[in-house]
Amino acid sequence: MELLIGDVFRNVARAVPDGLAAVLGERTITFGEIDGAGNRIAGVLRSRGITRGDRVAVWSSTSLDVIPLFAALAKLGAVFAPMNPALSVDEAVVTAASARPALLLVDDAGADAESVAAKAGTQLLTLPSLLEAADTEDDADVAVDGLSEHDPQVIFFTSGSTGKPKGVVLTHRINYLRTHPGGIFEPRGPMVCPFPLFHMAGWTIALQQWHARAPVIFVSADAASICDAVVRYRATRVYGIPAVWKRVFQYRHTPEGSAHDLSSVVAADTGTSATPPELLATLRYVLPNARVRVFYGSTEAGGVAALEHPDLDRKPGRCGLPSPFVQTRIDENGELLVRGPIVFGGYFEDDAANAEAFVDGWYRTGDVAEIDEEGYLSIVGRARDVIRTGGETVAPSEVESALAGCPGVADVAVVGVPDVGWGEVVCAVVVATEAGTPPTLEELRAYCDGRLSGHKQPRRLAVLDAIPRTSPTNQVQRQLLVEMLS
């Protein structure tokens, strides 16, 4: 049996055609509607010459219209390549061109879209015109001879701290294994998803729900939208990065927020960045009926590890035990390496990046990790971010955690900056709670006393209006910060 993403839509539409599949605002779509519209869209795309292996770049806002397009491309064997709608024209040109698409799909055919398509050397089509053309097609299922589970199914663009887009290629098999809930379906209930549909997490959450014949509620990442969705659909599951959960906690302290009944939530997940024990304690207090879990993974590697609810107090700061689908090891430099059937096979047509990303078949996560005597992983920093100062090694994330509660600090990032005497010194980049009144370097160091040893304490201070972070996972773009400070 081939593990094909198109079969996810075929199977669930056959089982529960009228079942609610997805919600966005006041719009809804059923499993039968996704499958039928997907077949019609596939017919139009095939008539325009889109065939197995072609890349289709999608520069669009999050919309339910994108879901049957995703299904159509999976059935055709074409590759779905979503792009962040917030990209500038220049960024969109570089991103689209890196995938060599046969087609660029956009919301509206304005001058910007035409410029991107022309410079990327591809044809342009709007989603509304595609959907209008699909209305004349029939619902006959689309099948492609020879389509393999090892064919690419999606390309997610990631840049991390470098700013240069890299296309993470996931095959049908990898995406199927990452999202399948197991051999026995257990009731999941509706799940609230605050991730957009250009991001791997949004599609992973959606496919997990659809495998299990359950709906996904797409919302923006603001606290009111999340809480409203939980109440309206009696959602049982929510995934939020730490920054999103903090917004929910703050909202719960307002009269409007405290009125929301969140008791239906039985699974509350988080991850992607440092998750302090205090946040997990608050999460359990706000959602007392929920099983809380911390996940660690990436677009390239999928879900690498998870810290389950019973271990939250026993293993503070850890990111849990490795997934059954991955093997892990730590190399001589402390970097975590992983391999397994859910790990991607490489970046799209990027030999230099692939040579750097893999060693003897193991994917280099770029994270410096430790494994305790029971096999639990903890991430102590980024291999490229580690600061080497005066012969000592400092993990920026550790210093950031120590400084997070410092009075006058609204946000903080830590990087190493070159220094003649020390090689590098620890530099704290701070956003002040009140503009114009940031803490001094001496105040930061005093706050670190008893929390950090001397060599880990900041020796320089920079103040910015905002710290550059990746969207939507909120990770610090350290390389960009270093360039800014230089």
How confident is the model over 173-223, as pLDDT tens digits? 999 999 998 877 778 999 999 999 999 999 999 999 999 999 999 999 999
Cβ–Cβ under 8 Å, residues 429 and 477: no
Asked whether residue 133 is assigned to any structural domain, the reply reads yes
What per-residue confidence (pLDDT) applies to 169? 98
Residue partners of 295: CB distance under 8 A and separation at least 6? 269, 270, 271, 272, 303, 305, 306, 307, 319, 320
CATH number of domain containing 76: 3.40.50.12780
In a domain, 395, yes or no: yes
pLDDT at 238: 98
Model pTM score: 0.83
On whether residue 312 sits in a domain, the answer given is no
**Domain-located, residue 231:** no
Q: Alpha helices, DSSP H only, in 121-253? A: 127-134, 172-179, 200-211, 223-233, 242-252
Q: What does the pLDDT read at residue 249?
A: 95
Q: What is the pLDDT of residues 360-393, one digit of tens each?
A: 999 999 888 999 999 999 988 777 777 878 767 7
Q: Give the type of residue at 98.
A: S
Domain end residue (candidates: 160, 177, 194):
177
Mean pLDDT across the chain: 92
138, 159, 177 — which closes off a domain? 177
CB-based contacts of 244, cutoff 8 Å, min separation 6: 194, 221, 223, 226
Sort strands 387-389 and 392-394 into parallel, antiparallel or unpaired: antiparallel
Domain C-terminal end among 157, 177, 197: 177
Count structural domains, the chain.
Answer: 2
Confidence of residue 38 (pLDDT cuts 50, 70, 90): very high
Closest C-alpha to 273, from 255, 298, 253, 291: 298
- Over residues 235-263, mean pLDDT: 94
Question: According to the model, what pLDDT value does residue 473 have?
Answer: 64
Domain limits for position 464: 387-485
pLDDT at 320: 95
| The most confident of 150-164, 303-317, 441-455, by mean pLDDT | 303-317
Strands 267-271 and 79-83, how do they pair?
Answer: unpaired
Q: Which residue has the higher pLDDT, 275 or 53?
A: 53
pLDDT at 334 over 50: yes
Please indicate, yes or no, if residue 113 is contained in any of the structural domains: yes
* pLDDT given at position 160: 47
> pLDDT digits over 139-176, tens only?
999 989 999 999 999 999 986 444 578 999 999 999 99
Structure tokens at 115: 């410029």
* Residue at 458: amino acid letter: P
Q: What is the DSSP annotation of 47-107? A: HTT--TT-EEEEE--S-TTHHHHHHHHHHHT-EEEEE-TT--HHHHHHHHHHT--SEEEES
**Assigned domain for 19 exists:** yes
CATH number of the domain at 452, please: 3.30.300.30
15 within a domain of the structure (yes/no): yes
Cα–Cα dist 243/199, whole Å: 17
